[in-house]
Amino acid sequence: MMEIDRMKEQYEYQASDMLTWIQKKIDELNDYNFPNSLDGIKSLMLRFNKGYMNYEKPPKYKQKSML
């Protein structure tokens, strides 16, 4: 019974952490100011792909799968 309670608490902590990260990321992505040029958009997309898609999303996706 104690093991189940520990697992439940761990799940609640991880789920809460994931929801907090999601809300933070939504706020961050909604706050983008897009440049008014093709080069500016390309630069922004490159930075997004290198940062978020390659480093930030994969561990969070794995964490979500484990939940």
Identify which of 24, 25, 67, 22 has the alpha carbon closest to the alpha carbon of residue 48.
25
The label of the residue with tokens 């093709």 reads 38
Per-block mean pLDDT, blocks of 10 residues, the chain (67 long): 90 92 90 87 88 83 80
The label of the residue with tokens 């290198």 reads 50
Q: Are 67 and 11 in contact (CB under 8 A)?
A: yes
pTM higher than 0.75: no
As a residue count, the chain comes to: 67
